[in-house]
């Protein structure tokens, strides 16, 4: 599909326009310069024409900030791969040197460029017309927040896009997912006609990379991609958004999600940097939507309690998990063994999670990570036949029946698998309350041992069997 890059200096409303054009709130929107840093891709449709839209970080070639320089490189990459470009300025303010520099760069790109002035609530806003002074032939006034002028922008975009197949209209598609009353933040509720995203099962593995700031999440994703798609810096907290990336390796497809680093709750100041709070919520939401969670830790640094808390988020949500010790290229053999030992001591509540040793910088262990993800995803979506389950269950009862309570042992009749992702089993019993927690853990452990649910949380629910013709449970 054609690729359209959305560029402009910081805080002109690119992410708001991005969300408006794709009809979803994918990009974080906040009244603060420099929120967007990585390239954010999304497929969308305008008047039946499909294309991919790219949101980019604030483009400021006049800044000597190293982070700004990294963002500028990513913007240049987006411009180079784009079929068309939308340059967005702030129509409510006079032009800045960064705007003029960007316009000069775009003129040399040999790409069709649309010039739009955002935050224009009336056509006669004087500042919106300043782009004409730079020799721009047409300026499209828009309000990304309220939707004004968006139709004109989309019509102009169709005129410059290369020919592409026309998408069939979807009768259930709502062209106005974001109405004129949407607020410009990331906490607004979904409109009543917006459906929540369902959890995909029969699709490519969806893998989210989580961890503390500066653990190397973006570096690992760049290594998997084979190019610098994600912005990487020595400063913790470089990534803000949860960025989806489709990766194809060895004939297989994956959707990897890079997320913002998650610090201790006490360090995420409510009054200081609300963006960090929003970023953390995006990371948690990404865990909810994932099949496999890769907990990335800095093996060269200190493995601490926060790593365990992040893993517990995935465990509580029933996600498959793999723990990755990153930056092992900085460790000798003894230090590497100690890092794994410390991790095992910390993650005793999730001993089923495999621990891998990886260097995102050199690529060591990355191939093994993909193999592990394949295996875990297969187990995460595995369904065991009922007959095979009950033969296993009979062996478990013979070897280790449930302990007695009050002089009477609870009876276990049969077990069946209720669902996958995560594997959930229902065991029918005479008295669910009499099944001790230790025995529940034993049964889950035996299920994992027999059927190979490595890296996958196994859940067993105990229910009372009802007598035929009687609504009361059998005791």
DSSP labels, 346-360? HTGGGTTS-EEE--T
- Do 218 and 363 fall into the same domain? yes
DSSP conformation class of 292: E
Say if residue 293 is in the same domain as residue 422: no
- Residue 247 counted as domain residue: yes
Q: What is the per-residue pLDDT for 423?
A: 94
Does residue 187 sit within a domain? Answer: no
Q: Is 408 helix (H, G, I), strand (E, B) or coil?
A: strand
> Which residue range is the domain that position 312 belongs to?
206-380
Distance CA 132, CA 119 (A): 17
Question: With contact defined as beta carbons under 8 Å apart, do 58 and 36 qualify?
Answer: yes
* Domain identity same for 416 and 373: no
Residue 350 shares a structural domain with residue 397 = no
pLDDT at 122: 65
> What pLDDT does 154 receive?
94
From the first residue on, what is the mean pLDDT of each consecutive set of 10 residues in the chain (475 residues)?
87 87 66 48 87 79 51 71 90 85 85 91 66 87 90 94 59 40 34 36 79 86 74 46 76 86 57 56 82 93 85 91 94 93 91 94 92 94 92 91 80 91 92 90 91 91 75 51
Q: How many domains does the chain have?
A: 3
Residue 47's CB is within 10 A of a number of other CB atoms, namely: 12
Name which of 200, 204, 199, 244 is nearest 225 in CA terms. Answer: 244
pTM: 0.65
340 and 395 in one domain? no
CATH of the domain at 70: 3.40.50.300
Q: For 433-460, how does the pLDDT look when each residue is reduced to its tens digit (9 = 90+)?
A: 889 999 999 999 999 889 989 899 999 9
Q: What is the pLDDT of residue 226?
A: 79
- Do residues 156 and 42 share a domain? yes
């Amino acid at each position: 599909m054609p690729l359209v890059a959305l560029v402009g200096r910081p805080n002109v409303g690119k992410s708001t326009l991005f969300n408006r054009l794709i009809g979803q709130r994918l990009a974080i929107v906040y009244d603060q310069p420099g929120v967007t840093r990585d390239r954010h891709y999304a497929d969308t449709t305008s008047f039946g024409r499909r294309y991919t839209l790219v949101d980019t970080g604030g483009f400021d070639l006049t800044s000597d900030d190293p982070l700004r320089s990294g963002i500028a490189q990513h913007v240049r990459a987006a411009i180079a791969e784009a079929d068309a470009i939308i340059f967005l300025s702030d129509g409510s303010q006079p032009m800045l040197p960064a705007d003029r520099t960007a316009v000069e760069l775009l003129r040399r790109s040999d790409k069709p460029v649309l010039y739009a002035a955002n935050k224009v609530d009336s056509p006669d806003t004087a500042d919106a017309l300043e782009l004409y002074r730079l020799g721009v032939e047409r300026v499209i006034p828009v309000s990304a927040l309220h939707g004004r002028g968006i139709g004109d922008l989309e019509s102009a975009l169709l005129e410059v896009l290369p020919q592409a197949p026309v998408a069939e209209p979807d009768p259930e598609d709502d062209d106005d997912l974001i109405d004129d009353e949407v607020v410009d933040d990331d906490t607004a509720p979904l409109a009543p006609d917006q459906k929540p995203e369902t959890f995909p099962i029969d699709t490519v593995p969806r893998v989210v990379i989580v961890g503390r700031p500066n653990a190397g999440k973006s570096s690992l994703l760049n290594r998997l991609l084979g190019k610098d798609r994600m912005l990487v810096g020595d400063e913790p907290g470089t990534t803000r958004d949860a960025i989806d990336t489709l990766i194809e390796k060895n004939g297989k497809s994956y959707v990897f999600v890079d997320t913002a680093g998650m610090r201790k709750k006490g360090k995420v100041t409510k009054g200081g940097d609300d963006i960090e709070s929003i970023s953390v919520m995006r990371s948690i939401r990404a865990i909810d939507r994932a099949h496999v969670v890769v907990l990335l830790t800095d093996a060269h640094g200190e493995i601490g309690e926060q790593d365990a808390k992040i893993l517990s988020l995935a465990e509580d949500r029933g996600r498959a998990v793999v723990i990755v010790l990153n930056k092992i290229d900085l460790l000798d053999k003894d230090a590497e063994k100690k890092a794994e030992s410390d991790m095992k001591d910390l993650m005793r509540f999730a001993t089923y999670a495999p621990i891998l040793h990886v260097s995102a910088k050199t690529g060591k262990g990355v191939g093994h990570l993909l193999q592990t993800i394949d295996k875990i995803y297969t187990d995460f979506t595995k369904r065991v036949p009922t007959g095979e389950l009950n033969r296993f269950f009979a062996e478990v009862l013979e070897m280790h029946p449930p302990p007695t309570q009050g002089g009477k042992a609870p009876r276990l009749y049969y077990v069946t698998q209720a669902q996958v992702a995560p594997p959930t089993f229902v065991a029918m019993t005479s008295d669910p309350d009499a099944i001790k927690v230790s025995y529940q853990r034993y049964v889950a452990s035996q299920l994992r041992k027999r059927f190979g649910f490595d890296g996958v949380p196994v859940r067993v629910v105990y229910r009372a069997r009802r007598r035929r013709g009687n609504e009361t449970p059998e005791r």
